[in-house]
Amino acid sequence: MTSPVAIPAISVGFVFQAQNVVMPVMVGQYQTTRGRKPGERGVTQLQPILNTTFYQLSQKGQQRVSGDVEIAPTNAATWVARPVAPVLERPALRLRWAPATIVFVAAGKAPYHLAFGRARATTASVPLSQVAPGCTPRELAELEPATPEALVQQQRADTIEQVDVTIGTRRHWLWGVLVCGLAALAAMAWHLFRQMKVDTSGVPASDAVSDSGLHASD
């Protein structure tokens, strides 16, 4: 049986179609260990997670069914059930997990949108004591639940990343143009300053002598 590897299973059970079934079984997952020596092949073995007996019995109109068995939270993409003895049917493996819970403070007008799936998104999670300060576990359990609607597929993650790269490239080009513009303005200002300094540095020496002579004769 395959299951999403991101969902940690917390209990295992079986669903039987027949009325009287007793099935000792080992449930686990295959794991490959690398060889200790260079070039040595790895060994694939079934690592047991659970070894017990599941049953479904009917006696005098009453049905007895083995319940689910709790296990340590386990993430696995493939689950293997190996019965100890041959069975007449192929039962369905049942996995249970605790759903994730998100507590948020509603702000603004509903409906609210929850987006997920972006690989480069930064986490925005904060401690529960900061989201709901002063609330007891009982009060948190009595909070109004939010019911999600059908999922709406938005822009693909790779397209969003490409847009981010494009925006970053454009930002770099804008900064480059701004720096070049400032450098050109500084060069023009320096050129004008030198030109004004030459124009106002004083009159030629011959003019200065004639002027002083005119004032003396007067």
User: Tokens at residue 41, please?
Assistant: 């092949």
Nearest Cα neighbor of 47 from 7, 98, 82, 17 is: 82
Q: Say which residue, 134 or 217, is predicted with more confidence.
A: 134
For residue 59, give the 3-state DSSP assignment: strand
User: Tokens at residue 118, please?
Assistant: 């972006």
Q: What is the pLDDT of residues 116-125, one digit of tens each?
A: 777 777 888 8
Compute the distance between CA of residue 4 and CA of residue 9 in angstroms, rounded to an integer.
10
User: Which residues lie below 8 Å from residue 194, measured CB to CB, with a gap of 6+?
Assistant: none
> In this structure, what DSSP letter does residue 142 have?
T
Q: Count CB atoms within 10 A of the CB of residue 49.
A: 18
User: Tokens at residue 11, please?
Assistant: 């209990």
Q: Give the number of C-alpha atoms closer than 13 A to the C-alpha of residue 13, restricted to the C-beta side.
A: 15
Compute the distance between CA of residue 1 and CA of residue 52 in angstroms, rounded to an integer.
18
For residue 15, give the 3-state DSSP assignment: strand
User: Which residues lie below 8 Å from residue 68, measured CB to CB, with a gap of 6+?
Assistant: 11, 12, 13, 94, 96
Nearest Cα neighbor of 95 from 71, 61, 66, 119 is: 71
Which residue type sits at 11?
A: S
Residue 49 banded pLDDT, cuts 50, 70, 90:
very high
Q: Is pLDDT at 213 greater than 60 in this prediction?
A: no
Q: Is pLDDT at 218 greater than 50 in this prediction?
A: no
Q: What is the pLDDT of residues 152-194, one digit of tens each?
A: 877 665 555 555 566 667 777 788 888 888 888 888 888 787 7
For residue 78, give the 3-state DSSP assignment: strand
